[in-house]
Structure 1
Amino acid sequence: MKIKLLYSCLLLAAAGSAFAQDTPDPAMVQKIREEGLNHSKVMDIAYHLTDASGPRLSGSPGLKRAQDWAVNELKTWGMVNAKREAWGKFGKGWEVQKNYVAMTAPYYHALIAIPKAWTPGTNGPIKGDVILVKADTLTDLDKYKGTLKGKVIIFDTKPGVERTFKADGIRYTDEQLDEMAKAKPQAPGAQRRGGPNSPQFTAMQKARALRAAINTFLQGESVGLVLTQARGSDGTVFTTNGASYADTAKAVSPELETSGEDFQRILRLVKAGEKVSIEADIKTQFFTDDLQGYNVVGEITGTDKKLKEQVVMIGGHLDSWHAATGATDNAAGSAVMLEVMRILKAVNFHPRRTIRIALWSSEEQGLFGSRGYVFNHFGDPKTMELKPEQSKVSAYYNLDNGSGKLRGIYLQGDSLAGPIFKAWLQPFKDLGAATVTISNTGSTDHVSFDAVGVPGFQFIQDPLDYGSRTHHSNQDTYDKLSEDDLKQAATIVASFVYNTSQRDDMIPRKELPKPQPTRN
């Protein structure tokens, strides 16, 4: 009986100690709140990453401008080891230098249209009649041989313009947040819908192969310009790439993603037998002098003799698409993380562990920047051969879901971190952040860390109009940023970073992932 009593006392003492180290310091929380909410620089940071830098497509001059500015600011704020760090080969840079297109017959109408990334320009002004090409198979193209030179090509691939009567911008309701908090852990090995063995994936691969073959045919026929209908409505154009960024990629024809309303007007006229003429002058430029990809990194050095070699990491991707200035995707997350570093310096914080920021590139092409960094520093997720640095990272916190306020955090299946994060969110209930969910969220850079067993987390954010209006679109501008939400986000993330850096123990880790099976 005495042994049981002693054991119970020891458990209570351990629990009390753990609770004590995860109870936020009220004085520091107040300092962080004061600086983050009342002396914020987050919108000035966002301005320099968007309006002042321009579009930040991977490998573009705009991305380098933003990276250079961020490195200089980190140095100005007193960070150490601030630099652009190469992660590996990316490919060609590209940017739009001129973009004019209009319908001139049967009457004049300026078109909303964006060059597809990594496609060429028109090599000067062109004028051409619009030809409707119908091709479900390669053999369907035979009838067009020798007839398309200098023409403007469209395809009848969509029935009309997407319409919705839902509000563009939304916030999570209390009921939705409660449902997140009650979520159950995902079953091990559960596969997402649409995986490589799914019918959807197979159909997509076939469609891509057909389009690649059509592109080769059109380029061989020397067409003047290709118009495709963009996803979106009300003048919003969601952009994509029309060619590969690889330095060995084949040449393609000039191609514009056109607003649904403009495209459908042209299509209706052509189908009705009207002569439709287009004039355009598109200039794009490729950059091949440096094919490397780069991330921005910088640090606040730890001060504890035992813990300073350990690291707390924060980040978000700095690259964007090219139709606008990538404000919500993801200048917002990058600005917040830069503001976190500024806040911690401004309150004269000297962390026990080293705090490192990383702003990734080429997230939009497949998390390449963060995956390259993880491979270079922490290990190979395919073989799970880990490097010594992997064991020294307490946690990585990511932000990449737009401009909405933080409502909590995804645990990414790390249940042991749940009680810790709940305690850290307590001081911010008045700011609307309290939800901790066991659920995973994917498709952004924390996944690269999770893949090698480093605790990687993404915060829950209000959606606003991220998915409906700004994500990858020509509407993704500084004007779509929510200042109060970004201030709130930076304040909460700064507190998380503070707590993680001061905690006696590192953030608990899940079981290491298994090596990925070799495919034959």
Structure 2
Amino acid sequence: MVPFLLTFLFHAAGFAQKLDMKALDKIRQEGMSNSQVEAIAHQLTDVSGPRLTNSPGFQRAAEWSVGKLTEWGLQNARLDEWGEFGNGWQFEKSYLAMTQPYYMPFIAIPKAWTGSTPGLISGDVAVVELNNESDFARYTGKLKGKIVLVKGEDFDAGPTFKPDAVRLTHEDLDKLTNSETFGGQRFSPEMLERYRLMRNFRTKVDSFLKAEEIQLELIRRNGRHGTLFTSNGASFQAGTPDPGPAFELSNEHAGLLQRLKNSGMEVKVEADVKTRFFKEKTKAANVIAEIPGSDRKLADEIVMLGAHLDSWHGATGATDNAAGSIVMLEAVRILQATGLKPKRTVRIALWSGEEQGIYGSRNYVKKTFGDAERMMLHPDHEKLSAYYNIDNGTGRIRGVYLQGNEAVRPIFKKWLEPFGDIIDQPTLTSRNTGGTDHLSFDAVGLPGFQFIQDGIEYGSRTHHTNQDLYERLVMDDLRQMAVIVASFVYNTAQMDKKMPRKELPKPVAR
């Protein structure tokens, strides 16, 4: 143990550097006193609207970001195409209400990548239970012309005695550091397989109901008090048949329909939904821009920061993930406004296709740095020092997930120390965290990090919901995040050596 510890400390000491406190003070002053997070947030949410990949809303946000990055003086700002994604989609009209036994408007969202009704429709409600393919026979020939509510899980819609908005307590952070069960984990192969099977079955359900010539499908979704968590939608792949119209329905209103039907009452619903597919351009792109390195020997090396720009469609995707994109845009604006000259090249990326499977970052890494499946590495793999990501909502930074890279612990600990007044109990955990774009870098052995953040309302009100709007953003938290991210990026760019790496992963078996 002692020889290993000495070797580790010697190795870490080789990456130590004296912090440039004047530069960090400039970053803090610019980020706290001249912040533009509100203006950026307005453009990415209110002005751009929902940002499904390949939709007009995503294109508005991406083009505005390219223009703003260029205005701030970054170079080579562009939309960088990464490959085939599929159809864009948006909904342009949405109305759903119960008309019998009495009138009541419903809280509902058209399911992503589903079709339109032929104008206003009305029909009797049927409630079906489809848990596996053997259930299809029970309803064959019985649903034509019906409005069908697919009975799913009985989500709890009762009162909650927990606050909607939460911050990590000191106890939470201690658990995150010491416990193997607290916080997010990388998706296991078993979890991914269950998700794949569930998605495939949902596609079969959609196809069965369309073949039965129903008028409209209703799907019960989790949530309470008017908050509706949307799901993954129908197929967006080019060339697939257009599915029929479908609404995701609020927990309470779905419960109302089920109880009325169970009591033997006749129930009618009317609806009018208009959706639009965009099939002309099926390839997708990320936003990329750079601050060129100022050091002749180090300028060829790269420090990256990024967040996914795409969102779901039920609201304007404020906390998932306009928040991360706002922070990263503001971080590079701060670096430019302070006049600091990072030694290494700083590259920002705003990803597309994250919500459907981190496609944008995964394909960017594959073409730029290396193929994780075969572990075939490109020359630029040696040039990247680190990648930093934000994708856990609007809550302020409380520390960093180290992704098992213990060699960076003393480095990050030193970098967090000047910000003890704006980070309560700075925390570093060796734990992995999953489900977002830093995993694309980690998969090819590159140092990729997600910051620990306060949850705020992410799990209760905003993640993939109809309430994820501008008002859910905590601007003071976004300012804090931008300052911390800008300082980490600048410190990384000034290091004598690149960030230490873990052992290269094995090729991914397929």
Q: Normalising TM by the smaller chain, what interval?
A: over 0.9
- Partner of 2:154, secondary structure, is coil
Match of 2:189 in 1: 195
- 2:325 paired residue number: 334
Query: How many angstroms apart in 1 are the aligned matches of 2:187 and 2:314?
Result: 30
Amino acid at match of 1:440: N
Asked if the contact 1:323/1:472 (under 8 Å) is kept, the reply is yes
Matched residue, 1:419: 410
Q: C-alpha offsets along residues 59-81 of structure 1, whole Å, 9 cap, x if unaligned?
A: 11100000000000000000001
Question: What residue is the counterpart of 1:428 in the other structure?
Answer: 419
- 1:3 matched residue in structure 2: none
Aligned residue number for residue 510 of structure 1: 502
Contact 1:222 1:253 in 2 (8 A): no
**How far 1:12 moved relative to its partner?**
11
Q: Using the alignment, how far apart are the partners of 2:279 and 2:10 within structure 1?
A: 61
CA distance in 1, matches of 2:32, 2:335: 13
Q: Which residue of 1 aligns with 2:49?
A: 54
SS at match of 2:145: coil
AA matched with 2:360: G
**1:201-240 equivalences in 2 (<5 Å):** 201=193, 207-240=198-231
Paired residue type of 1:504: D
Deviation at 1:183, TM superposition (A): 5.9
Between the aligned partners of 1:388 and 1:258, the Cα distance in structure 2 is 50
1:482 to 468, 474, 480: 474
Native 8 Å contact 1:160 1:264 kept in 2: no
Equivalent residue, structure 2, for 1:277: 268
**Is 1:344–2:335 an aligned residue pair?**
yes
The CA deviation at 1:131 is: 1.4
1:439, CA displacement in angstroms? 1.1
Matched, 1:24 2:19: yes
Does 1:451 pair with 2:443? Answer: yes
Matched, 1:87 2:79: no
Task: Find the counterpart in structure 2 of residue 177 from structure 1.
Answer: 173
Shift of 1:210: 4.4
Q: CA offsets per residue over residues 51-97 of structure 1, 9 Å max, x none? A: 10000011111000000000000000000010000011000000011
Pair 1:130-2:121 in alignment: no
Separation (CA, whole Å) in 2 of partners of 1:462 and 1:432: 11
Alpha-carbon separation, structure 2, partners of 1:431 and 1:354: 28
Q: Please tell me whether the aligned partners of residues 12 and 410 of structure 2 are also in contact (alpha carbons under 8 angstroms).
A: no
Rate the CA distance shift 1:413–1:136 in 2: closer, same or farther, 3 A. closer
Q: Distance in 2 between matches of 1:63 and 1:420?
A: 36
Instruction: Kindly provide the amino acid, as one letter, of the partner of residue 468 in structure 2.
Output: D
The question of whether the paired residues in 2 share the 8 Å contact of 1:131 and 1:152 is answered with: yes
Aligned length: 501
**Separation (CA, whole Å) in 1 of partners of 2:12 and 2:359:** 41
Residue 516 of structure 1: SS of its match in structure 2? coil
The aligned residue for residue 5 of structure 1 is none
SS of match in other structure, 2:117: coil
Equivalent residue runs for 1:35-184 within 5 Å: 35-138=30-133, 140-142=135-137, 144-159=139-154, 161-163=156-158, 164-182=160-178
Please give the alpha-carbon distance, in whole angstroms, between the structure 2 residues aligned to 1:13 and 1:513.
24
CA distance in 2, matches of 1:135, 1:181: 42
Give the SS at the match of 1:467: helix
What is the CA–CA distance in structure 1 between the aligned matches of 2:201 and 2:399, rounded to whole Å?
A: 43
* Alpha-carbon shift at residue 143 of structure 1 (Å): 5.2
Secondary structure of 1:87 counterpart: strand
Following the alignment from structure 2 to structure 1, what is the Cα–Cα distance between the partners of residues 93 and 9? 68
Task: Select between 130-139 and 374-383 the one with higher mean Cα deviation.
Answer: 130-139
* 1:193–1:32 distance in 2 versus 1, CA, 3 Å: closer
* Conserved? CA contact 2:12–2:408, under 8 Å: no
Equivalence for 2:293: 302
The one-letter amino acid of 1:330's match is N
1:464-495 Cα shifts (integer Å, max 9, x gaps): 11012100000111100001100000001111
Deviation at 1:207, TM superposition (A): 4.9
Q: TM-score, normalised by structure 2?
A: 0.93
Contact 1:183 1:438 in 2 (8 A): no
**Are the aligned partners of 1:161 and 1:261 in contact in 2 as well (CA < 8 Å)?**
no
In structure 2, stretches of 5+ residues that fail to align are 1-5
* One of 279, 282, 286 as aligned partner of 1:288: 279
Distance 1:262 1:370 in 2: 38
Offset of residue 161 of structure 1: 3.6
Structure 1 distance, partners of 2:224, 2:12, is 55
Provide the secondary structure at the position in 1 that maps to 2:46. Answer: coil
Query: Is 1:355 paired with 2:346?
Result: yes
Q: What is the deviation of 1:144?
A: 3.7
1:259 aligns with 2:257: no
Given residue 481 of structure 2, which amino acid in structure 1 is its aligned partner?
A: A
Query: C-alpha distance in 2, partners of 1:13/1:153?
Result: 66
Paired residues of 2:186 and 2:432 also in contact (CA < 8 A)? no
1:324 to 315, 318, 341: 315
Calculate percent identity across the aligned residue pairs.
51
* 8 Å CA contact retained: 1:118, 1:241: no
Aligned-partner Cα distance in 2 for 1:137–1:297? 44
Question: Hey, what does 1:442 align to over in structure 2?
Answer: 434
1:205–1:497 distance in 2 versus 1, CA, 3 Å: closer
Could you tell me how far apart the structure 2 residues matched to 1:15 and 1:243 are? 48
- Unmatched tracts of structure 1, length 5 or more: 1-7
Give the deviation of 1:350 after TM superposition: 1.2
Shift of 1:215: 2.1
1:183, 1:160 → 2: CA distance?
29
CA contact (8 A) 1:185 1:413 kept: no
1: CA distance between counterparts of 2:209 and 2:379?
Answer: 52
Question: RMSD of the TM alignment (CA)?
Answer: 2.4
Q: Deviations over 1:79-129 (max 9, x none)?
A: 001000001100000001110111111111100000111110112111111
Asked if 1 retains the 8 angstrom alpha-carbon contact of 2:332 and 2:486, the reply is yes
Distance in 2 of aligned mates of 1:65 and 1:110: 31
| Inter-partner Cα distance in structure 2 for 1:384 and 1:134 | 45
Say which one has the larger Rg.
1
> Residue in 1 aligned with 2:3?
none
Displacement of 1:513 in angstroms is 0.7
